[in-house]
Structure 1
Amino acid sequence: MPSFTFIDLFAGIGGMRQAAEENGGTCVFSSEINREAAGTYEANFGERPYGDITKIDESDIPEHDVIFGGFPCQPFSICGFKRGFDDARGTLFFDILRIAKAKRPSCLVLENVKHFASHDRGNTLGVVVAALEEIGYSVSVEVINAVDFGLPQNRDRTIIVASRIGTFDFSKLVTSERLTVSSVLETEGPFEYVDPAEYTLLRDDIVKVQKQSGLRFVGYRNRNLRKVGVREGTEHLSRVHKQPNRIYCATAAHPTLAAGESSGRYWILVDGVVRKLTQRECYRLQGFPDSFKISASATAAYRQIGNSVPVPMIAEVVRAARAQGLITIPADTEALLAA
């Protein structure tokens, strides 16, 4: 298949670029406003992304076949205020739209949190779909989970594929056998273990696997129990413990890596002892290769990976879009669309 060109908007540390390049894509422009993330991006891809996309004129962006954009999810996330387009960050979708309208790429692949699809009773998604359709794109939307694409992380994301050539079929995605956290663990430390006096493990008869998510909640650090609405004797329930204190089992899937927590968030039970996931293990949970250069700042490293996309999941979307002929526009097709 011929190669394609793309631009990488709200690029973060380059998860979408990684997925696109694995499918033969060539990046011709990138943009990321966060300086630390841009530094990590530069260290790995050899170029510094442009800054604030709102200050970049669309005429200055090179021609391209695909727009990739994981536009800011905080306004739509269940972890945030879910203010959507009322939040200034929520309006950044319209910068994607103005670029698409000016450059008319064949395809857009956009990513956001699961709750983007249901935000404001679906009205927010409706605005996005209608806006893309108005400028000539056929739009498909689906919530898919990283755990179905070779990553042991329960990470649901709303994926939007818009094409001028045809309609993307999500049923053609090829899924993978589900893995466990054990598959991404490093074999050598140093590891950060937790003093057994500082956590409580649940009895075997209490521990249950949630079949759909694949998570196994096995214990908690002895702090910050949620008090409001919590009945006595429910300490064994994961929902009464704040997420940074929950302990999950390495022989199951891991919950969604989040960007808003401290670097002490990810605790797992491995061979009977509790420790924190290493930075490299977190990057493996998102599908980044071990050759990927991680920020020297631990806080930035954990935040950046929590903000990133699951690389194999996006790579499969790109592969399927190419297989369905929705990315590169042949000259004769372009002429028909322009007529």
Structure 2
Amino acid sequence: MTFLDLFAGIGGFRLGLEQAGHECIGFCEIDAFARKSYKAIHDTRGEVEWHDITTVTTDTLQRMRQPDILVGGFPCQAFSVAGKRRGFDDTRGTLFFEIARLASVLRPRLLFLENVRGLLHHNRGLLHHNRGDTFETILRTLDGLGYDLEWQVLNSKDYLPQSRERVFIIGHSRGTSFTQVFPFQREDRRFLGSEKTNLGIQTLGNINPSGNGMSGKVYHSKALSPTLMTGSDVKIAIPSERSTNGLILAGNLEGKYAQSNRVFRKEGNAPTLTTKSDGLKILVKEATIKGYQEAQPGDSINLSHPTSETRRGRVGKQLANTLLTSEEQAVVTEDLQIRRLTAKECWRLQGFPDWAYERAAKVNSEYQLYKQAGNSVSIPVIYDIARRLN
């Protein structure tokens, strides 16, 4: 089937859909740097190209070829728990209605949309049975356009070593025959839930030597990597790091440790905490009764807002935290060193093949490449959904 790629970014949706046999007929992306990467990666000759979706007129839509699928990960910052969650009060939140506007004119057979899990909970959300919530507004809008809807939250950790929950929405044009897509659970998963992660971790040597995935050499052989973050590079590292504000500490852990509280500098190796039974540990400050959480090799650490008096959940046990829009992620390694992920490694963590990164690297700065990886979608997840569309 043919598809129109909205909020296209660098084309993560496109690669997943094309791998499933679908054909792109056009794209829309407002960010000039992302467009440079997109056009370097994909052959867009003869395709429709739009920049600002709000300027696309009804007349333009009526004159173009009708796509079978309208796809898009509409801007998520307005609904993300990492942002201010202003929702439809935020300009980025209102861009959903541009998708609805295009769908009302183009009348595609299918809608394939993506957003953060926080969309479900925004304004209390469907899970709290508040019928005035943001997600229900989206569902009612698409239902009013004549689409039967299904949705599911999927986690990239079932495909890649990144815990990244996203809600995917499929809309079927009412009156057409279709096969239900959701719910499904990926079988024979390589990356498992936290209670089984140790088994999966042992398989990390070189996950995909072809480059169509993540390179195992990036990570410690017994630990998952940190999640990607946009804006700059990501740190793999530490029971030595950081911060000048005292987020990561060493200290007396329930009387078992002899080191005094101190803050470690980025430049050097830190003293380590040891225990007779559990091995190396560090203490990460957070707003709990104990005042800290223990982190061991393989755990990820969220370093954002180090002076916060209310922040919890900084330590991800044996799984990477979700990709955010800053560089505040790290992972504890057994050799107590810190190393930054390269931009190429970040792209691999989203499932991009190396050839795609290399094309983008010729037209964009390293800063933009980090940002683009963080703003993208996980290609294997898109493919797994796209192959079920008919």
| TM-score, scaled to structure 1 | 0.77
Residues 289-309 of structure 1: CA deviation (Å, up to 9, x unaligned): 111124442221111111111
Match of 2:183 in 1: 171
Q: Does 2:90 correspond to 1:87?
A: yes
The correspondence for 1:40, drawn from 14, 37, 41, is 37
Deviation (angstroms), 1:91? 0.7
Deviation (angstroms), 1:243? 4.0
CA contact (8 A) 1:5 1:28 kept: yes
Match of 1:234 in 2: 292
Match of 1:282 in 2: 346
Give the counterpart letter for 1:77 in structure 2. S
Q: 1:280 to 1:59 in 2, by over 3 A?
A: same
Q: Which secondary structure state, in structure 2, belongs to the residue aligned with residue 117 of structure 1?
A: helix
Deviation (angstroms), 1:119? 0.8
Q: Report the structure, 1 or 2, having the larger helix content.
A: 1
Deviation (angstroms), 1:273? 3.2
Match of 2:249 in 1: none
Q: 1:28 to 1:272 in 2, by over 3 A?
A: same
Give the counterpart letter for 1:279 in structure 2. A
Match of 1:121 in 2: 124
Match of 1:55 in 2: 55
Match of 1:297 in 2: 365
Alignment of 1:1-339 (within 5 A): 4-47=1-44, 49-61=49-61, 62-122=65-125, 123-148=133-158, 150-164=159-173, 165=176, 166=178, 168-172=180-184, 174-175=186-187, 176-178=189-191, 180=201, 183=207, 184-185=214-215, 187=217, 198=265, 203=274, 219=282, 229=287, 233-234=291-292, 236=294, 242-243=303-304, 252-258=318-324, 260-262=325-327, 265-267=329-331, 269=333, 273-293=337-357, 294-295=360-361, 296-322=364-390
Task: Please tell me the root mean square deviation across aligned C-alpha atoms, in Å.
Answer: 3.4
Q: Which secondary structure state, in structure 2, belongs to the residue aligned with residue 77 of structure 1?
A: coil
Distance 2:368 2:350 in 1: 16
Distance 1:41 1:288 in 2: 12
| TM-score, scaled to structure 2 | 0.67
Deviation (angstroms), 1:277? 2.0
Distance 2:120 2:142 in 1: 15
Q: 1:177 to 1:63 in 2, by over 3 A?
A: same
Structure 2: state its 5+ residue gaps. Answer: 126-132, 192-199, 208-213, 220-233, 241-263, 307-313
Q: How many pairs are equivalent?
A: 300
CA contact (8 A) 1:202 1:218 kept: yes
Structure 1: state its 5+ residue gaps. Answer: 209-216, 323-339
Distance 1:112 1:66 in 2: 17
Give the counterpart letter for 1:29 in structure 2. G
Deviation (angstroms), 1:143? 1.1
Distance 1:218 1:12 in 2: 39
Q: Which secondary structure state, in structure 2, belongs to the residue aligned with residue 314 of structure 1?
A: helix
Give the counterpart letter for 2:292 in structure 1. T
CA contact (8 A) 1:218 1:248 kept: no
More displaced stretch, 77-86 vs 266-275: 266-275
More displaced stretch, 298-307 vs 240-249: 240-249
CA contact (8 A) 2:283 2:292 kept: no
CA contact (8 A) 1:71 1:112 kept: yes
Distance 2:333 2:300 in 1: 18
Rg larger for: 2
Deviation (angstroms), 1:200? 6.5
Q: 1:256 to 1:161 in 2, by over 3 A?
A: same
